[in-house]
Amino acid sequence: MPKLITTTASIARLWPRRFGTNRTIDGRDLRQRPNLNRDHRHPRLAESSAMTASDVPTRPAPVDMSRNPFLTGVFAPQRDEVDAVDLPVSGEIPADLRGSYLRNGPNMRFDPIGSYVYPIDGDAMVHRISLDGGRASYRNRFVRTPMVLTEEAAGHAIWSGITDGYTPSAAEVGDELAGTTRELPDINIVRHGGRLLAMAEADRPYQLAPEDLATLARTDCDGAMFVGSTAHPKIDPSTGEMVLFNYVLEAPYLTWAVVGPDGRAIRTPTPVDGVDAPIMIHDMALTSRYVVLFVCPLIFDIESVMSGGSLLSWQPRRGTRIALIPRDGTAVRWIDADPFWVWHFANAFDNPDGSVTVDYVEWTYPGGFSDQPTPAASSLTRAVIRPDAGITKTVLNSSEPDMEFPRIDDRMLTREHHRIASVAKGPRDSGDLDSLWFHDLAAGTETVWTPGAAIGEPIYIPGAERDYWGAIGTDPTDMTSHFYLLSADAPQDGPIATVDLPIRVPAGLHGAWLPDPS
């Protein structure tokens, strides 16, 4: 992955655009804060207030897609939007299984210009596989942001990637969109409080229509996300609350918030005390007592950016700091640890002795954001955090197969879970993430299923009598995509049903199982 060499315009994308409004965080008036997206535009744009057509900055050249592994092969963008019913099925879909498997991911609407950095750049496409009565159907749709709509009217890309700093002028896209960067609600999809949300990194999500995946509007979830949100909020099954955090580039740097089960904000963005630098945090964990944030030393380096350097700086001397944020709003507990990096958590739960158990994928450092002599390596890890005595860690996997995307039965979030499924490199080591690894922590077993396909994040699917795991994979030899349904009791035996999807589904990011509410 290339370094994130960027400019102020790219910072603007990561900046909470809601600063500059008359909203407040925890009583703090934010009106005086700069809105980089408007006030700190790229220098070329800043010169453009009296711009004529001949002065319009030159649009960047097309990206050579053939040279980018994340724009070719199983990652190549899919431009078709289709609806298909009665899909071919090998095996048998249980007749009582009703619901939809949804998955989001980067998928450029038009061939990119300027630059393209996976997984940060990209328009969003949501894929849905619906199961009902033993039959399967499929629908996919782009999330139609103003950028996608404007580019569709033009017939080509107008906004560039995050690393080259180009933003379109008013002459190209009108006053409202001039100086903006591409909105990227392409990371996750979450249903909560009556909303179906396409989630972005540190930004507001887009609300989709559940019946047809049409894009409705951007939302801040009743103000809980007005500064933005992680793409990985957590829903507490016992309370129905959705808890989230967000990072920003200026103090207070880090906030958390809560949305009630009715979709109304219970807690608006609240600063996390004790953060002294702009940090990147991708995911979070949640227990009944705590919001758990691992503050790893990946720092937004503004001085570096201003001199043409990298946006993100790995600073291991800072160590990793763990924040246990009481959900009752009392003081944050901080625990220091040696430096490591985390993209994704599986789950966390409280122990009777006051400690907190957290299962997650631990990386030695964030590959792509730091030059180190050895490749970044990951392990499925269990940490037990004692607020007064530090952290103890146990590696759960028996080898180091570059694990990622750990998931559990989401009904067990905040409580002790037994099953974790992850994506990893399999025994045949094709170079891709081509296997699903299953850990049963109660039984003490580790099993692997390697489908012969590039495989995506596994999602737990509760059934009426039995439970399942579901995942999408693409066979790199013929580029056909399939939805695999595996028994949660014996996933290593392979799918009980394989659904042939009507189009290739690009390798993507995160998804959810939505049981039919009826």
Residue numbering of the annotated binding site: 232, 282, 344, 510
Extract the annotated binding site for Fe cation: 232, 282, 344, 510
| Beta carbons within 10 angstroms of residue 465's beta carbon | 7
Gap between the Cα atoms of 430 and 241, Å rounded: 41
Residues paired with residue 440 on neighbouring β-strands, in sequence order: 419, 445
Gap between the Cα atoms of 108 and 157, Å rounded: 9
Give me the amino acid identity at 40. H
Instruction: Please choose, from the candidates 265, 246, 257, 144, the residue with its C-alpha nearest in 3D space to the C-alpha of residue 195.
Output: 265
Rounded (5°) CA angle 270-276-279 = 80
Cβ atoms 36, 341 nearer than 8 A: no
Name the strand (E) or helix (H) holding 247. strand 242-247
In order of 254, 315, 321, 393, the CA distances from 337 in angstroms are: 19, 14, 6, 10
Instruction: Please choose, from the candidates 84, 214, 99, the residue with its C-alpha nearest in 3D space to the C-alpha of residue 145.
Output: 214
| Beta carbons within 10 angstroms of residue 304's beta carbon | 16
Q: In what order do the strands lie in the sheet with 215-218?
A: 188-192, 195-199, 206-208, 215-218
Distance between start and end Cα atoms, the chain: 44
Gap between the Cα atoms of 67 and 112, Å rounded: 13
> What values do phi and psi take at 129, rounded to 5?
-110, 115
Cβ atoms 408, 400 nearer than 8 A: no
Gap between the Cα atoms of 353 and 360, Å rounded: 21
| Beta carbons within 10 angstroms of residue 443's beta carbon | 10
Cβ atoms 8, 42 nearer than 8 A: yes
Give me the amino acid identity at 429. D
Query: Beta 445-449 vs 419-424: how paired, if at all?
Result: unpaired
3-state secondary structure of 448: strand
- Percent helix, strand and coil across the chain, each to the nearest 5: 10, 35, 55
Instruction: Please choose, from the candidates 395, 477, 479, 482, the residue with its C-alpha nearest in 3D space to the C-alpha of residue 437.
Output: 395
Query: Beta 435-440 vs 419-424: how paired, if at all?
Result: antiparallel
